[in-house]
Amino acid sequence: MKLILLGAPGAGKGTVAKRLTAIDGSVQISTGDILRGAVKEGTELGKQAEAFMKAGDLVPDDLIMGIMEERLQEDDCKNGFLLDGFPRTIPQAEALKGLLTRINAQLDFVVNLDVPRDVILDRLTTRRTCVDCGAIYNVKSMPTKVEGVCDKCGGKVVQRDDETEEAISNRLDVYNAKTAPLVDFYGKEGMLLSVTATSSDLVVSTIQEKLGL
Ligand code: AMP
């Protein structure tokens, strides 16, 4: 499958993407994970992105398009891909359209994960992430077996730098201003599937049904 997962931070894009990869071998492409990896490794990209990320602002479109141009042409994308956290602005969506045409790939559709703001705020403040493998936990609903240690890889499980109350509030404002307009953009293209996303089971089964999988 070739999908875009749209939705506010904390809407469950990463969780849904990870579950969908298990269905047909499509790869999850998270620009946030790629950028966090670059920051951790101290690469040039990481240095350029770090301050924007920490404040909860968007990284400039040209850096993001540079990443995606390369990533979408890697071999593992041939089985399909789930775009998680990209595109996040209208210019990124326009550039993606051109890129997909050039590499001869066609999206199935764009899933909009619709979640009430109070649920999102609660999820983000209680979310914890493994710094090594990116596994996602929640101190209330899905804690690690041993506090601070990833069940899957033994890595350190932490609250992300951009999951302070201030950065979260900024990320949600940025989402409303820059990313929410993509719902209309893809609606007009006839590509949109909107799902009320309080349960990831429901989201996954709705997508499977729509794809006939
Ligand atoms: P995420 O893990 O998707 O919430 O992304 C974490 C942070 O990485 C965001 O708050 C942005 O600073 C940056 N980021 C990730 N994807 C993008 C994108 N497509 N465009 C701009 N910035 C991005």
pLDDT at 164: 84
Ligand 1 midpoint to CA 160 (Å): 13
Residue bearing the bigger pLDDT, 198 or 182: 182
In a domain, 56, yes or no: no
Of 13, 16, 29, 31, best ligand 1 pocket probe by most atoms within 8 Å of the beta carbon: 31
pLDDT surpassing 90 at residue 153: yes
In a domain, 111, yes or no: yes
Across the range 153-163, mean pLDDT stands at: 93
Look up residue 73 and give its DSSP letter: T
Angle between helical axes of 44-55 and 165-174 (0-180°, round to 10): 100
In a domain, 112, yes or no: yes
Q: Whose CA is nearest to atom 15 of ligand 1?
A: 32
Residues 6 or more apart whose CB falls under 8 angstroms from that of 12 comprise 113, 115, 123, 197, 200, 203
Across the range 175-188, mean pLDDT stands at: 97
Alpha helices for the chain (secondary structure H) = 13-24, 31-41, 44-55, 61-71, 90-102, 117-126, 165-174, 181-188, 200-211
Mean of all residue pLDDT scores within the chain: 95
In a domain, 137, yes or no: yes
In a domain, 74, yes or no: no
Residues 6 or more apart whose CB falls under 8 angstroms from that of 93 comprise 87, 182, 185, 186
Across the range 178-202, mean pLDDT stands at: 94
Here the CATH number for the domain that contains residue 155 is 3.40.50.300
In a domain, 145, yes or no: yes
- Find the domain containing 152 and state its range: 2-26+79-211
Contact residues of ligand 1, CB 6 A cut-off: 9, 31-32, 35, 52-53, 56-59, 64, 85-88, 92, 162, 171
In a domain, 108, yes or no: yes
Ligand 1 midpoint to CA 70 (Å): 17
pLDDT range class, residue 197, cuts 50, 70, 90: confident
Query: How many Å is the Cα radius of gyration of the chain?
Result: 16
Count of domains for the chain: 1
Beta strands 109-114; 2-7: pairing state? parallel
pLDDT surpassing 90 at residue 213: no
- Please pick, among 19, 36, 128, 160, the residue that the annotation labels catalytic: 160
Contact 40, 46 (CB under 8 A): yes
In a domain, 10, yes or no: yes
Active site residue 127: yes
